[in-house]
Chain A
Amino acid sequence: MDHFRGEALSWEVSAGAIELALHRGPCNEIGSLALEELEKFTQALDSLSRNAHALIIYSTIKAGFCAGADLRELYQRSHEMQKAEAVSGVREFLERIHRVLNTIDAAPLTSIAAVHGVPFGGGFELALVCDLIIADKMARFCFPELRLGLIPGFGGIPRLKRDLGNGVVRDLLLTGRSFNATRAHAVGLVSQLVAEGEALRAARATAAQLGKFDRRTAVAAKKFIKPIPYHELKQEIDLFCQLFAEPAVEAGLRKFVESTDLQPYLP
């Protein structure tokens, strides 16, 4: 399937690059629908990769790249269940999203996240599976999970540790604060910082450059430079599920869901 149009995302191949567009309001929250469509994408990825040398992931939603997990769906579903059943449901969801993100992380082509606005939580984790992050100056990165009594659950901690100094990782995780793209570029998270609205254009120019080189060499280099921390990723799921069982999480989720702010993102 070399092109697809779903409710949460679409893809097509253009000029040797697979372009995966996220387009579900309010800000591409990752719940069961987005996960199903991401799974469709990763099932097609092998076949798509035969005719492409790059993957660009971007958002057409004005608010940003992706605001993370669909916390309203998570609260509604877990609220109605016994705790053990809720934790089991969360584990299943996490294992599925990890399979998706690990597949993208290991994809045999160079991947680029073209980021604007909000890459928060799971959205930040989606950007982190890519080989390169190109961000416009208005982007802000954040792991707000601690505000809910949780840790990032989509692989963010092992991947952040893979890319950044531990001090920056601790700052992001323990304060739950966001930082802007200029700072993200300064610490080496973002490889290119561009003007507002220019991330996708810059990603396409980069993808064109990537097409000049021997594909097998690039794939071998990527595998060598960017190992996937499978063991730590599994440990992250275990810790997330352990924390999810605590009362603080339900209280944190309820506060988020009941907020009168449409998108309650201030810490």
Chain B
Amino acid sequence: MPTEQQTLDEILNLAAQHFKVPREKLQPDEDFFRTLNIDSLQALDLLTRIENHFQVELPDYELQGVTDFRTLAGRIQGRL
């Protein structure tokens, strides 16, 4: 099973690839809605990509209040 840091790194890579931004632009603790300038539908899109990648299911209500990648990685880690 990957460590939480590995999970976080994979999520950052997925997000960079999906939203076509340089990986260095994405910081684990920053608000990804603001950094990526995305809306909730795009956030759900990212969630789907993450679920498919890790082969887990994360109820989207668990994203309530989640705005940074590190917390998101923690939620995913909890499903591995």
Contact of B60 among A137, A138, A178, A264 (CB under 8 A): A178
B31 part of interface (Cβ distance < 8 Å): no
Give per-residue flags for B16-52: 1 if the beta carbon is below 8 A from chain A beta carbons, else 0. 0000000000000000000000011101110011011
Interface residues of A in 111-137 (CB under 8 A from B): 117-118, 137
Q: Are A177 and B40 in contact (CB under 8 A)?
A: no
In the complex the two chains form, what is the Cα distance from A266 to B40 in whole Å? 6
Chain B at the A interface: mostly helix, strand, loop or mixed?
A: helix
Contacts A140-B44, A261-B39, A262-B39 given; indicate if A267 touches B52 (C-beta within 8 A).
no
Give per-residue flags for B49-66: 1 if the beta carbon is below 8 A from chain A beta carbons, else 0. 101100001011101100
Q: Are A180 and B64 in contact (CB under 8 A)?
A: no
In the complex the two chains form, what is the Cα distance from A114 to B66 in whole Å? 32
Q: How many residues of A contact B (CB 8 A)?
A: 24
Query: What is the minimal beta-carbon distance from B23 to any residue of chain A, in angstroms?
Result: 21
Q: Are A266 and B59 in contact (CB under 8 A)?
A: no
In the complex the two chains form, what is the Cα distance from A116 to B57 in whole Å? 18
Contact of B40 among A175, A181, A265 (CB under 8 A): A265
Residue of B nearest to A260 (CB): B39
What chain B residues lie within 8 Å of A106 (beta carbons)?
none
Contacts A137-B52, A180-B51, A182-B52 given; indicate if A63 touches B41 (C-beta within 8 A).
yes
Contact of B57 among A179, A263, A267 (CB under 8 A): A179
Interface residues of A in 172-218 (CB under 8 A from B): 175-183
Chain A at the B interface: mostly helix, strand, loop or mixed?
A: loop
Q: Are A138 and B57 in contact (CB under 8 A)?
A: no
Q: How large is the interface on B (under 10, 10 to 19, 20 to 34, 35 or more residues)?
A: 10 to 19
Q: Are B43 and A266 in contact (CB under 8 A)?
A: yes
Contact of A180 among B41, B57, B61, B63 (CB under 8 A): B57
Q: Are A267 and B41 in contact (CB under 8 A)?
A: no
Q: Are A265 and B44 in contact (CB under 8 A)?
A: yes
Q: Are A138 and B45 in contact (CB under 8 A)?
A: yes
Residue of B nearest to A181 (CB): B48
What chain B residues lie within 8 Å of A179 (beta carbons)?
57, 59
What chain A residues lie within 8 Å of B64 (beta carbons)?
266-267
In the complex the two chains form, what is the Cα distance from A117 to B60 in whole Å? 15
Residue of A nearest to B51 (CB): A180
In the complex the two chains form, what is the Cα distance from A261 to B59 in whole Å? 20
In the complex the two chains form, what is the Cα distance from A177 to B48 in whole Å? 13
Q: Are B57 and A183 in contact (CB under 8 A)?
A: yes
In the complex the two chains form, what is the Cα distance from A43 to B39 in whole Å? 38
What chain B residues lie within 8 Å of A267 (beta carbons)?
60-61, 64
Contact of A175 among B41, B52, B61 (CB under 8 A): B61
Q: Are B49 and A265 in contact (CB under 8 A)?
A: no
Q: Are B60 and A177 in contact (CB under 8 A)?
A: yes
In the complex the two chains form, what is the Cα distance from A88 to B48 in whole Å? 39
Q: Are B43 and A180 in contact (CB under 8 A)?
A: no
18 A–B contacts from the bound complex (CB under 8 Å): A27-B41, A118-B44, A138-B45, A138-B48, A175-B61, A176-B61, A177-B59, A177-B61, A178-B44, A179-B57, A180-B57, A182-B52, A261-B40, A262-B41, A263-B41, A265-B44, A266-B43, A267-B61
Chain B residues proximal to chain A, CB less than 8 Å: 39-41, 43-45, 48-49, 51-52, 57, 59-61, 63-64
